[in-house]
Chain A
Amino acid sequence: MNAALSWIRAYVPGLECTDQEYCDAMTLSGTKVEGYERRDRNLEKIVVGQIKSIEKHPDADKLIVCQVDIGQETIQIVTGARNVKEGNKVPVVLDGGKVAGGHDGGPLPEDGIPIKAGKLRGVPSQGMMCSIEELGSDRNMYPEAPEEGIYIFPDDTTVGADAVELLGLRDTVFEYEVTSNRVDCYSVLGLAREAAATFRKPFVPPVVKETGNQENVNDYVSVEVLDQELCPRYLARVCKNIKIGPSPQWMQRRLASSGIRPINNLVDITNYVMEEYGQPMHAYDLDTIAGHKIIVRRAQEGDQFQTLDEQMRRLDGDVLMICDAEKEIGIAGIMGGENSKITDNVTTVLFEAACFNGPNIRKSAKRVGLRTDASGKFEKGLEPHNALEAINRACQLIEELGCGEVVGGTVDVVRPMPEKKLLPFRPEKYNKLLGTQVSGEEMLEIFRRLEIGIREKEDGAVELVIPWFRQDLNCDADMAEEVARFYGYDKIPTTLPDGEATAGKLSYKLRIEQKARDVAEYCGFSQGMCYSFESPRVFDRLLLPEDDALRRTVTISNPLGEDFSVMRTISLNGMLTSLASNYNRRNRNVKLYELGNIYLPGELPLKELPDERMQFTLGFYGEGDFYTMKGAVEEFFACVGMKKRPAYDPDAKKTFLHPGRQALIRYEGVTLGFLGEVHPQVLDNYGIGERAYVAVLDMPALEPFTTFDRKYEGVAKYPAVKRDLSMVVPKSILAGEIEGVITQRAGKLLETLELFDVYEGSQIKEGFKSMAYSVTFRAKDRTLEEADVNGAMKKILNGLEQMGIELRS
């Protein structure tokens, strides 16, 4: 909402402050000022001058030389403008002054355009006569300005006067951020009321009388509202003998200051009242209204309707329409119809001021694809009392401006209006909520400034009578806020809660995640963040079969586009996309991790909330291989107290991973995730030009195995015995199997088992590999005898031989 300070001052005559003071005070009392702009910015030393004589320029056909009386003296100005005549009164910027723009009306330069005395084609010129564009505005806002050339003042203008002031530009326009609960402040009067309360000045609203002649409006028009839910109040008044013409300058100037283009007296009055009262109005040509009857009803599904802007609009059964006895003539609260448009030949006007259901207007405007100033106001849910004030104000202006004759009476179709709201006055409650000690009298003084009625009941209790324009005041907390706003938020003390002490902590889940971040970063992985929604085409990129369960998604019904339309069921797309974008940017050795949810739906369409599962995803390309990734995974397990050896099942069946380089990660028989090298086809799909490795851990599956408990197990007191095992193994046997056999056969004496060599090549027979383990035995309670170790070794060797493994000496 924008409003000029001069318009506010019209209702708060005592208001005296600088722009900045106004901005600060209003913001601190709850009417936030987003910013303000002086309308006379870059307009300096501009006065009214009168052209005394015009001569041709001796050396230039297109220039003229004018002698201009600026009050104290007469100066010479050379100009190329062709519209000026001797005797004209014009804005003149003097030597050393400034104008806001160029004569072509392009974008205004930040610092304006300085004007200096000089010579034009050899003839001295001591200033410049200005067009409306040079003054920073245009013909839209100043319709009286000539199409081209210098702005000309009326003949009765005083020579030497401040031209900027005369144009109404000694003013500041404030931009307000009005909160949705303060519907009353989407109007100049509402803002002025707040300003008056803020600065403790009297509020002087216009005095509105219900004007009208002896005739009865009911003889002119009848109104029927078929859907009172969508239209709680419909007011109609009639004005006849309409004389269309320009509105007075003061009204034009105020509209211009709000960025509204003056059109003619009738249109300007409706716009003026809309700004002033926040109540949009519509004017119909009564002669176009069939049967002189207004019917307010819902549109028929699929109706077409041509709005004022000559566009055809498709309607549905939730759009409220204004109709006459035969046809639809306007979309309620949004825009009138081409078929009832006011022309300059209008003689009798029907004014409509109505209240429509806010949410319905908002939704209709969206569906019809037409948001107007009017619908923007209606969608906030307007107060029915205000409509009557506004329509009477409009009729009064019609009369005052000589625009027509007002017919007596008002058609008012209204649902029972809300009762007057009464709230108990509870000063101790307000203080308790605020932590203040404001006296009851001070509170009442604040309420009086806000036009809240104060009534003493028979039992002595005080009651607050809430004015109708304050829909937002409903309970003690609301009243406490009113006290706080005007007592001053800054004067409320600062304390800390002093209740019972509570233990600050992270949830266990968050602690595990924190550990995951620590370990990932220790292993060289940096944290990325990815979107939760992605395109369903991701599944094709990951080569998932058509019937894969992961293709069942939580789907957004109104996404920003297909790329953001399904909630991810697998975390890899984000990782691979991030790796790819790094690869494209020629970043080398990129290691990333991410902690983020996947969303697995139960029944579809969704009835229950999906299962949100935190995934710990790691990915990299560059230095390292499968085992680097495996190392990071095991490092993490160790750090969250998972001491057992995880198992790796190569039969992971992940379509997006290299078929020979992937594994499920199992722990105590439970699958916790997977890791592997990315499938070359998937690398191509993402545009990653080198091998990449990923691991995904499902944190909810993993959490039950984690612990932060640590127990000291003692340092070995007795010596260890180390034996090396060197063997030739059929290629099909996995290290994991060998380790399984060794671990199982060695029993309790086994301390560690370490693979120190794997070799495949020319010195080993076809289909075999050579492997070498270092096996360490130790007992906790004694020094091992040779026989202990030999016994264990024998068992191991037997086991390995049964697998078809040849032992080498």
Chain B
Amino acid sequence: MRARLDQIREQVQAQIKSCDTADKLNEIRVAVLGKKGQLTELLKSMKDVAPEERPKVGQMVNEARAEIERVLEEQKTRMEKALREARMKAEVIDVTLPARKAELGHRHPNTIALEEVERIFVGMGYEVVEGPEVERDYYNFEALNIPADHPAKDEQDTFFVTGDILLRTQTSGVQVHEMEKGKLPIRMIAPGRVFRADEVDATHSPSFHQIEGLVIDKNITFADLKGTLAQFSRELFGENTKVKFRPHHFPFTEPSAEMDVSCFKCGGRGCRFCKGSGWIEILGCGMVHPHVLEMSNIDPEEYTGFAFGVGLERIALLKYEIDDMRLLYENDIRFLRQF
């Protein structure tokens, strides 16, 4: 029996080693371990073995079986591995061929700039609100301390629909709408489209966008205005950005200022971009005029506030170095794809 087993084992191991396909391997398995296989046949001859020998012989047969199965399995793994490797070898690709891209669309540079500004102010606790683009004279002018005969109201600048209804020339009217809601304190920015009667050219458009800001609370100071806008400028233009406030005049703020930021191209040394001055004019701002507060039923002795207005296109043009405002409204895909 033992001799027969050894013989089968050796014979099978040799067969397995020389075997090169999965089919042949299976044939071997059937020939040895199958229902009519050699090992099975051998087991059948157990009846000829003395009963006391049987457990021993049985164990021997089972061991032989286990060993053959193990060798079969090893050979199978080896073959599969070789096959996979051969396949992968055949599957080498040129990784420098062009990428297959999903054609994503592109956001308008104005929107990119706006979202940047919104992100900064939302982070500082400001609510983003809107107001009507076709507006009443009262909100665009009168409630902002721009009385009937003020030059700022001149027809040259303002598009009128009727005597009382016009296309807003500034987002500042949203200040008044917010103040009239009577909910204090206020921290808001109001982005939106505004209109002025300027012919289209590289630096003008009859329709453009502003972002208005308004904070009203007890104890708001000009120092708070400076601090807030300085922080905004650093976030928007970079950590090293410096700001400069120059006195100016707006009818609805007092004191008023214009703010320059240090040129983010040359860092303030002076270059063509900032016309050699090292500074770039960015926005107008000031403390809300007490008369404006009064008109919206806020007591200027108790509350103070600051407001600012910034041109969105100005930021987009500066930040992305776009040299012609007309590009923003032509919607040429070759332009938009760069953002």
Residues of A within 8 A of B (CB): 27-30, 32, 179-182, 358-359, 362, 366, 379, 432-436, 472, 475-478, 480-481, 484-485, 489-490, 492-507, 509-510, 514, 517, 520-533, 554-560, 564, 567, 578, 581-582, 585, 587, 589-593, 596-597, 599, 605-606, 609-610, 612
Total interface residues on B, CB under 8 Å, equals 88
A526 touches B336 (CB 8 A): yes
> B111 near A: Cβ within 8 Å?
yes
Please tell me which one of the listed residues B122, B185, B255, B287 contacts residue A506 in the complex, with CB atoms under 8 A apart. B122
B128 touches A510 (CB 8 A): yes
Q: What are 25 inter-chain pairs, A to B, with CB distance below 8 A?
A: A179-B248, A180-B152, A180-B249, A358-B149, A359-B151, A432-B221, A433-B221, A433-B222, A485-B247, A490-B245, A492-B245, A496-B227, A496-B228, A500-B217, A502-B126, A507-B128, A521-B107, A526-B106, A527-B106, A530-B331, A532-B133, A554-B134, A560-B197, A567-B134, A585-B332
Known: A532-B195, A554-B134. Contact between A527 and B105, CB under 8 A?
yes
A505 touches B128 (CB 8 A): yes
| Residue in chain A with minimal CB distance to B103 | A524
Q: How far is the CB of B148 from chain A (nearest CB, A)?
A: 8
Please tell me which one of the listed residues B133, B160, B215 contacts residue A612 in the complex, with CB atoms under 8 A apart. B133
Please tell me which one of the listed residues A506, A560, A581 contacts residue B332 in the complex, with CB atoms under 8 A apart. A581
B330 touches A581 (CB 8 A): yes
> B155 near A: Cβ within 8 Å?
yes
Instruction: Find chain B residues with CB under 8 A from A559 CB.
Output: 159
Q: How far is the CB of A14 from chain B (nearest CB, A)?
A: 23
B206 touches A499 (CB 8 A): no
Known: A182-B249, A527-B107, A529-B328. Contact between A362 and B151, CB under 8 A?
yes
Q: Mark B327-339, 1 if CB is under 8 A from A, else 0.
A: 0111111101100
Instruction: Find chain A residues with CB under 8 A from B134 CB.
Output: 554, 567, 599, 609-610, 612
Please tell me which one of the listed residues A436, A507, A533 contacts residue B130 in the complex, with CB atoms under 8 A apart. A507
A564–B196 alpha-carbon span in the complex (Å): 12
New A-B contacts (16) at CB < 8 Å, excluding given A358-B149, A477-B287 = A180-B152, A432-B304, A434-B221, A475-B291, A489-B247, A494-B227, A497-B215, A497-B224, A507-B129, A524-B104, A526-B106, A526-B336, A527-B111, A557-B161, A560-B206, A587-B332
Instruction: Find chain B residues with CB under 8 A from A578 CB.
Output: 330-331
Q: How far is the CB of B292 from chain A (nearest CB, A)?
A: 10
A560–B334 alpha-carbon span in the complex (Å): 29
Q: How far is the CB of B324 from chain A (nearest CB, A)?
A: 14
Instruction: Find chain B residues with CB under 8 A from A606 CB.
Output: 161-162, 165
A381–B129 alpha-carbon span in the complex (Å): 37
B151 touches A180 (CB 8 A): yes
Q: How far is the CB of A381 from chain B (nearest CB, A)?
A: 9
B160 touches A558 (CB 8 A): yes
A477–B199 alpha-carbon span in the complex (Å): 37
Q: Which of B130, B221, B244 has the most CB of A within 10 A?
A: B221
Known: A179-B248, A358-B149, A521-B107. Contact between A506 and B128, CB under 8 A?
yes
B255 touches A480 (CB 8 A): yes
A529 touches B331 (CB 8 A): yes
A124–B223 alpha-carbon span in the complex (Å): 68
Please tell me which one of the listed residues B107, B118, B331 contacts residue A582 in the complex, with CB atoms under 8 A apart. B331
Instruction: Find chain B residues with CB under 8 A from A567 CB.
Output: 134, 161, 167
A379–B151 alpha-carbon span in the complex (Å): 9
Known: A477-B287, A506-B128. Contact between A526 and B333, CB under 8 A?
yes
A592–B227 alpha-carbon span in the complex (Å): 40
> B321 near A: Cβ within 8 Å?
no
A499 touches B217 (CB 8 A): yes
Q: How far is the CB of B239 from chain A (nearest CB, A)?
A: 15
A180–B226 alpha-carbon span in the complex (Å): 24
> B32 near A: Cβ within 8 Å?
no
B112-131 contacts to A, CB under 8 A, are 115, 118, 121-130
> B82 near A: Cβ within 8 Å?
no
A481 touches B104 (CB 8 A): no
User: Taking chain B's interface residues, is the majority helix, strand, or loop, or is none over half, making it mixed?
Assistant: mixed
B105 touches A525 (CB 8 A): yes
Q: How far is the CB of B70 from chain A (nearest CB, A)?
A: 38
B215-233 contacts to A, CB under 8 A, are 215, 217-224, 226-228, 230-231
A433 touches B106 (CB 8 A): no
Q: How far is the CB of B317 from chain A (nearest CB, A)?
A: 14
Q: How far is the CB of A434 from chain B (nearest CB, A)?
A: 5
Please tell me which one of the listed residues B123, B132, B160, B245 contacts residue A504 in the complex, with CB atoms under 8 A apart. B123
Q: Mark B236-253, 1 if CB is under 8 A from A, else 0.
A: 000000001111110100
Q: How far is the CB of B177 from chain A (nearest CB, A)?
A: 12
A527 touches B336 (CB 8 A): yes
| Residue in chain A with minimal CB distance to B124 | A504
Instruction: Find chain A residues with CB under 8 A from B311 CB.
Output: none
Please tell me which one of the listed residues A480, A492, A612 contacts residue B132 in the complex, with CB atoms under 8 A apart. A612
Q: How far is the CB of B183 from chain A (nearest CB, A)?
A: 10
> B154 near A: Cβ within 8 Å?
yes
Known: A362-B151, A433-B222. Contact between A520 and B248, CB under 8 A?
no
Instruction: Find chain A residues with CB under 8 A from B165 CB.
Output: 606, 609
A362–B149 alpha-carbon span in the complex (Å): 10
| Residue in chain B with minimal CB distance to A358 | B149
> B314 near A: Cβ within 8 Å?
no
Q: Mark B181-215, 1 if CB is under 8 A from A, else 0.
A: 00001010000010101010000001100000001
B223 touches A436 (CB 8 A): yes
Instruction: Find chain A residues with CB under 8 A from B151 CB.
Output: 180, 359, 362, 379
A560 touches B107 (CB 8 A): no
A587 touches B334 (CB 8 A): yes
> B257 near A: Cβ within 8 Å?
yes
B105 touches A522 (CB 8 A): yes
Please tell me which one of the listed residues B105, B125, B222, B289 contacts residue A435 in the complex, with CB atoms under 8 A apart. B222
Instruction: Find chain B residues with CB under 8 A from A498 CB.
Output: 219
Q: How far is the CB of A72 from chain B (nearest CB, A)?
A: 39
A504 touches B105 (CB 8 A): no
A749–B258 alpha-carbon span in the complex (Å): 67
Please tell me which one of the listed residues B108, B132, B287, B329 contacts residue A433 in the complex, with CB atoms under 8 A apart. B287
B106 touches A521 (CB 8 A): yes
A32 touches B248 (CB 8 A): yes
A180–B145 alpha-carbon span in the complex (Å): 13
Instruction: Find chain A residues with CB under 8 A from B331 CB.
Output: 528-530, 578, 581-582, 592
B222 touches A434 (CB 8 A): yes
Please tell me which one of the listed residues A379, A496, A502, A526 contacts residue B337 in the complex, with CB atoms under 8 A apart. A526
Q: Which of B207, B258, B336 has the most CB of A within 10 A?
A: B336
> B235 near A: Cβ within 8 Å?
no
Instruction: Find chain A residues with CB under 8 A from B161 CB.
Output: 554-557, 567, 606
Instruction: Find chain B residues with CB under 8 A from A499 CB.
Output: 185, 217-220
Q: How far is the CB of A669 from chain B (nearest CB, A)?
A: 29
Q: How far is the CB of A761 from chain B (nearest CB, A)?
A: 32
Please tell me which one of the listed residues A478, A585, A590 contacts residue B254 in the complex, with CB atoms under 8 A apart. A478
Instruction: Find chain A residues with CB under 8 A from B118 CB.
Output: 506
> B290 near A: Cβ within 8 Å?
yes
| Residue in chain B with minimal CB distance to A499 | B217
| Residue in chain B with minimal CB distance to A577 | B331
A477–B219 alpha-carbon span in the complex (Å): 14
Instruction: Find chain B residues with CB under 8 A from A495 CB.
Output: 221, 223-224, 226-227
Q: How far is the CB of B248 from chain A (nearest CB, A)?
A: 6
B300-339 contacts to A, CB under 8 A, are 304, 328-334, 336-337
Please tell me which one of the listed residues A180, A181, A520, A556 contacts residue B105 in the complex, with CB atoms under 8 A apart. A520
| Residue in chain B with minimal CB distance to A497 | B224
A434 touches B107 (CB 8 A): no
| Residue in chain B with minimal CB distance to A565 | B159
Instruction: Find chain B residues with CB under 8 A from A30 CB.
Output: 246-248
A182–B245 alpha-carbon span in the complex (Å): 19
A526 touches B223 (CB 8 A): no
A517–B130 alpha-carbon span in the complex (Å): 18
Instruction: Find chain A residues with CB under 8 A from B291 CB.
Output: 475
A490 touches B244 (CB 8 A): yes
B222 touches A521 (CB 8 A): no
A501 touches B125 (CB 8 A): yes
